[in-house]
Amino acid sequence: MTDDTEDGALWLQKAAALQKMLGFEINAVRVGEKGDFVDEERQWMEDSGLQAGKGGAVLVRPDIYVAFRAPGYSAEASQGLERVFE
């Protein structure tokens, strides 16, 4: 999950690349006015530990465990997400 910023779009691209590389589905979504979901009460930002408009991301496993969190997109954060799947 990420926000609807340009950096958020980079996380979606990264998720798509990982999905192709790993061979299983990663449900990547954007939260925000232009995203897949609108956080009308601003609860998602508070619960996720991210700041609105900063392009951060969280990876939540099916058992609702947060496996990864990054405050913004960077090459280092992108590599961190890859390491989660090793």
The full 3-state SS of 26-41, as one line of letters, equals CCCCEECCCCCECCCC
Residues of the chain with pLDDT under 50: none
| pLDDT computed for residue 44 by the predictor | 84
**Domain locations in the chain?**
2-84
pTM to 2 decimals? 0.88
What pLDDT does residue 45 have?
Answer: 80
pLDDT of residue 51: 83
How confident is the model at residue 46, as a pLDDT? 81
CATH no., domain 2-84:
3.40.30.120
Q: Which tokens is 78 given?
A: 């992108």
Which tokens in the block code for residue 23?
């061979």
pLDDT attached to residue 49: 86
